[in-house]
Structure 1
Amino acid sequence: MEPWFDDVDDRPRDAAFFVESALDDLQCADVDLNRYEARRSARIADAVALARRNPQVYVHGTDKDALGQAERAAIFDVALRLRCSEDYVRGVLFTAEQAMAHLPLLWQQARDGFVSMYLVGRTVGALARVRADVGASEEELELEREAMRLIDQAASEWALSCPPAAFARRLRTLVDRLDPIGAAERHARKVRERRVVVQEDEDGMSWFMAYIPTVEAIAAKRRLTSTAKHLQKHPNECRTRDQIRADLCSEWLRGIGTPTAVKTKIFVTIPVELLEAEREAERTNAARAAARQAELVGHGPIDPLTAKQLFLDAKAFRRVIVDPIRSVVVDMDRRSRRATQAQREWLILQHGTCARDGCNRLAQDADIDHKTPWAQGGRTDIEELRPLCPRDHVHRHLTRAIYRSRPDRSVQVITPTGHHSTAPSRAPAAEPPF
């Protein structure tokens, strides 16, 4: 479809008119989008509120724990229907509920389409700074309500006139003024949130991030930089300073060359054809070798050079793709409830991730679930086992959701409200040798 303004006259006056019209139309579309996002957030909040009032839809009991499980099950149901993560739904739910409860002016502007949910989320995040502690006095609670009222009033004005960066700067200044806690206490609270995050990127690479105090982060980078400068003086060194810093960071954290070097088990499948690619090419069968890729189980393919290096570095390996695994005890009958280590490792190779449709949590960290529950006579046989992440394992046993295995070993979920999950188009991590 051609743009509606392709036949516009090139004269400046006519062009300016049509450009202005196009921009006006863009602003209208933006208002519609803001209104839609706010309405969508409200619908998610409504659905979860209904589940809280009617927990029997999702769970069997009605005690306090059952109410919380019903809420989690409703969030899971929403995530399946919208094809998004539970964490995303939980974030949208929190933002909507907090905005409706404490930011009535800003929330109404979002419902009208004049404020984006992004700005609403930033403002909701700022409310945490002015909240009273649990067990606060009535005077402290009144200060909290007044601070939230001032934030709502100011944010609803700034959102209509300030770009996002200026909005965030003004909001931060206001919250600093209203925050009843000193800078030292705020820092102490943030220190308690320190953590490490790994974020996968493309082409077999990942970002490794640590949330730590600024002084420690600066000191760590200075040490990396100082060591990198020293190494760059070597005549045979050809790496950039950034590359050396990254290599040093990885080596130091993994303890390379030390008695405490990391010994974490990483599952990698490497086809023999890949290791003998040159011979395959000589036999005019290179296409077959190229079709088989090495894979970091649960994460995806890795390049041939990395695969060969892993193979050469490995002190021991199992030929799990070409030769059948003869050492795995596949049938335990009713002799044991727990899967053996060999069964667990084979399930990791088979699935890579949690078996449930759309779940990308690693099978290496999953629980081993019986298709037929052990308490109902289930057997600990390899064909009766499947990896479910802890969250899905809880949903399977404590809610009315049905987890049904397919012939390809994937698991479909049927929620208590009748939604059927669909299988993503992905290949299994490894073909079973049996």
Structure 2
Amino acid sequence: MTNPNPDSFPRPDRRTALRATAGLAAFSFAGCLGGDSTDGADDGVDGTAGNASGDGASADDGADVDYAVERVAEGFENPWGLAFLPGDGRLLVTERLGRLSLVDPADGSTRTVAGAPEVFSRGQGGLLDIEIHPAYPTDPRVYLTYAASDDSGAAATHVGSGRLRLDGSDAPALDGFEPICVAEPFRDSELHFGSRVTFGPDGALFVTVGDRRDTEFGPDHVSQDRSNELGSTLRLTADGDPHPDNPFVDDPNARDTIYSYGHRNPQGMAVRSETGRIWQCEHGERDGDEINVIERGGNYGWPVASEACNYGTDERVAPSHRERGDAVAPVHYWPCGSGGFPPSGAVFYEGDAFPEWRGDLFAGTLAAQYLGRFTVEGAGATEAAVTEREPLLADRDWRVRALAVEPTTGHLYVAVDAADAPVVRLVPA
């Protein structure tokens, strides 16, 4: 499903810092109250609270958790990625138009970080995800994924890194930023960059790359062709080199950066701490959205195996994953006709603020406009017992783009995808 955001251009910095009050007045109820991105008092509290179950929700350990929504800062232009600085408490926010911001959640103050790369900010392209080196601040590298173009105007998903400099009163900056990996080939397309990035428990850097909206469905599709990096999960070293333990390093007909392939457009990725496994949320065609547990060398089927239908029809794109023995089936999916779950950011919740949610997967959805919560049972190889629970932040008309958990408080942060958007947090009511 394509991103409906139109092309736009950077505007002067007009972001407003919102100070959250220490005493939060909130109330609880069954179901999530509505509201849009302009609601809320000047103190930064939306004045609404939520209940994670909703009327008639099936019982589970997190079904009766009351939460309130606080605004942290607003005025962002299509924020795409969130990352907390370990041991610091401040938050880095990417904006698709090309700006990188440093936010202090204590008072909502926001500063622009110099040194971000020039980006291809058309369609779904731009400055996209962000990750911090696991050894920060000893290793102050910050990693960005972004779309950038070549001399012909064609674009590709890039990964780059620079060293974050925070020198007191001086403007924060990324020093020495440079691309460390480019997912080739470049394509004359504004769609399907994938672009989520995360470190695995072994220190490897995982990056998702979309299929760039290749519509030539069949066995020769770019996602099934391991001689290119489109429609794949890349596994890199912290310096951007192919990881030496990747599955195809000895295959002369495959890119040695590839860890898994057969993907369409994965825009959510998270590590499940119980197992150390990489999970992804991936866009289907018409519906057919998926949650996958990533296996080394796995073929995830697109487009020769799919649960989706072609746009505008009830015709299946391909046989189901379960009809093909050579494709890894999703652990959860939305079949054609279901309405789908066009996904974006994802995170496993491990915080202290909501102990009933520990171990749950949270994933934002774009067109469906809510925050999804999924319980996961079992830690075996298949990890197939995934259950979607009642939506959070429903009826707010918010496209949920990115998620992050503040390490100290356990508050769940949410970036809303809009041209004039807030970053909010879920806190106990």
TM-score of the two chains, using structure 2 as the length reference: 0.30
Bigger Rg, structure 1 or 2: 1
Greater helix fraction, Structure 1 or Structure 2: 1
